[in-house]
Structure 1
Amino acid sequence: MGMELRRSLLVGVVLVVVVVSGEAQLRPNFYQFTCPKVESIVRQAVLKKVRQTFVTVPATLRLFFHDCFVEGCDASVLIASPRGDAEKDAPDNLSLAGDGFDTVIKAKQAVEARCPGVVSCADVLAIAARDVVVLSGGPSFTVELGRRDGLISQARRVAGHLPGPDFNLNILANLFRMNNLTTHDMIALSGAHTVGFSHCSRFAKRLYAFGPSSPVDPSFNLPYAQLLMRACPRDVGPTIAVNMDPFTPTVFDNVYYRNLLKGEGLFTSDQVLFSNLLSRPVVKKFAADQSSFFRAFAASMVKLGRVGVKTGHQGEIRKDCTAFN
């Protein structure tokens, strides 16, 4: 009798494991029967927003990165708190452009009008991030779906989870590894800076206070540093920003990596990808072969979209992306 009971319990445990494992799987056709047109609905909303302002592209892409690296890809970064203590209120997220939030909110509203209470804000954000890449000339890829929206959004939980502009290769690689992403993924995903922009305060130290022997970071291409100094003089206003790629800032391409070869990486965390001998070969490959970069970026975006996802009975499907139900 004792043996039979143990066997029954063992079977029960195996079944539970199978169910939980099954629930954790994202899949491209998750809304095949509940909201079959979800991707086209989101695409139309994103396209309309991009036509209004190109800032939508880097803003939405950056929003996806920041969301996934804190609490996982669960739209926790979209929550608005009247007390100013939500994830988006953390110092590391204050520079997120409003157009990214607006894009997801409007896309979600369009989806809700057709499929109320079915599609998560996390999935809308994942689709929108892919769409802005495609709309700016980058690679298309299949977005896995089935995420649910998280129930935690706290500013105090952000610190230490997002890449900083002054990080070296080891710190960057470790941070990505914590999210099941390789150093190769990190180098590929850094290519998103080909359509990004940055406020002057994020890299001013490299221009004016790098070190006692050289106020300008010697890894900078000097003409590029001088160009940045004209755009970002000392004590410039906090709203002034420059393009991460000064040559093709509105095209998703591999020029970001070509810039690194010339010492024209805006952040220390950009230029270190070429300065460090471990990552340099990948930078050279992407700089020489855009299709190689595109394949790597697409694959790494799919992996990024799996980070810390909530599925099955976890989380919720928010009606309004800015508020818990």
Structure 2
Amino acid sequence: MHPLFAVVLLTLHITMATAAQLRPDFYLETCPEAEFIVRDVMKKALIREPRSVASVMRFQFHDCFVNGCDASMLLDDTPTMLGEKEALSNVNSLRSFEVIDGVKEALERACPGVVSCADIIIMAARDAVALTGGPDWEVRLGRLDSLTARQEDSNEIMPSPRSNASLLIDLFGKYNLSVKDLVALSGTHSIGQGRCFSIMYRLYNQSGTGRPDPAIEPKFREKLQKLCPPNVDQNVTGDLDATPRLFDNQYFKDLVAGRGFLNSDQTLFTFTQTRKFVELFSKDETAFFKALVEGMLKMGDLQSNRPGEIRRNCRAVNGRHVNTVWES
């Protein structure tokens, strides 16, 4: 066979693999302990640094919206590729990549070359929610890891903390995610922290007015201004809701009270289309949890149409040799 023809066949084979149907029992025979291993590492990460699991949970959103759930955001820069870690919405924001490294190392010891980094992100996000008091659910697995990343794509797609509900509705709609999905998935801000950098404009110059965002409840605004004065180190962090270590519906209660940390949070209550879901979830935690699970599963189904592999190291591709592929 001509070498070029062989490369074409291999590329076709791997591309087909990305379209394989995801299923809960994907690793049942090849790595039956996979989900136990992921949860065990996440438990240890939670004990070591509670904020880390919230950081890892957000990887699913930042990965899946940029060319599908393929772990492209985990790739480090190379001399010929600018990765997504330094994209505008990720730099100095995404953190705790070492937790994923730890999960991957544990899985490679147990089942070398079997579990993809893309699936690790999906499992770890679920575990972050479940381990902090939120719902648990069965994830669908069987993804491949991308062979490349594109910082430019991330810059074009990912929203900023300044985004309003109208922009977010349009963005999520492109991925067949509903307004309800948007509000429920925003509820992942139930745990974790945000940086002063993300709120300085709404504290001091909302929409170029030279004044704070009028939607911020006055006492909460005073608290934020004390945390983030004009001359603050903008990497200082504040809690995203009043119970930042507990996954609950407090986030929505805070929005109703005008205590949303980010503009992209608070605007969900001030915008008519999203307000009804904020009000519903603030009163009914069970409804929020149900909608969240539905949204996370739908987001996890966003698939890449690009060639892929099973990376041995989540930060770098395997090289010219593709370690593992499978057919649909």
Q: Above 0.5 in TM-score?
A: yes
Q: Which amino acid aligns with 2:308?
A: G
In the alignment, what sits opposite 2:82?
85
SS at match of 1:242: strand
Quickly say closer, same or farther: Cα 1:152–1:188, change in 2 above 3 A.
same
Quickly say closer, same or farther: Cα 1:45–1:211, change in 2 above 3 A.
closer
Q: Distance in 2 between matches of 1:144 and 1:249?
A: 28
> After the TM superposition, which residues 38-49 of structure 1 pair with which residues of structure 2 at under 5 Å, given as runs?
38-49=34-45
User: Shift in Å at residue 216 of structure 1?
Assistant: 1.1
Quickly say closer, same or farther: Cα 1:21–1:150, change in 2 above 3 A.
closer
Q: Which amino acid aligns with 2:245?
A: T
In the alignment, what sits opposite 1:301?
296
In the alignment, what sits opposite 2:272?
277
User: What 5-or-longer segments of structure 2 have no aligned partner?
Assistant: 1-15, 319-328
User: Shift in Å at residue 309 of structure 1?
Assistant: 3.8
User: What 5-or-longer segments of structure 1 have no aligned partner?
Assistant: 1-19
SS at match of 2:85: helix
Do the aligned residues in 1 keep the contact of 2:85 with 2:94 (CA within 8 Å)?
A: no
SS at match of 1:198: strand
Match of 1:183 among 148, 160, 179: 179
SS at match of 1:128: helix
User: Is 2:72 the partner of 1:59?
Assistant: no
User: Shift in Å at residue 56 of structure 1?
Assistant: 1.4
> After the TM superposition, which residues 1-325 of structure 1 pair with which residues of structure 2 at under 5 Å, given as runs?
23-83=19-79, 85-99=82-96, 101-210=97-206, 215-245=211-241, 247-309=242-304, 314-325=307-318
User: How many pairs are equivalent?
Assistant: 304
Q: Distance in 1 between matches of 2:276 and 2:143?
A: 35
Do the aligned residues in 1 keep the contact of 2:19 with 2:303 (CA within 8 Å)?
A: no
In the alignment, what sits opposite 1:7?
none
In percent, how many aligned pairs have the same letter? Answer: 39
SS at match of 1:88: coil
Q: Distance in 2 between matches of 1:211 and 1:187?
A: 23
Q: Distance in 2 between matches of 1:111 and 1:214?
A: 52
Q: Which amino acid aligns with 1:323?
A: A
Q: Which amino acid aligns with 1:317?
A: I
Question: Which is higher, the Rg of structure 1 or of structure 2?
Answer: 1
Quickly say closer, same or farther: Cα 1:213–1:60, change in 2 above 3 A.
closer
In the alignment, what sits opposite 2:6?
none
The more displaced of 163-172 and 134-143 is: 163-172
Q: Distance in 2 between matches of 1:161 and 1:97?
A: 16
User: Shift in Å at residue 90 of structure 1?
Assistant: 1.5
TM-score of the two chains, using structure 2 as the length reference: 0.88
Quickly say closer, same or farther: Cα 1:98–1:281, change in 2 above 3 A.
closer
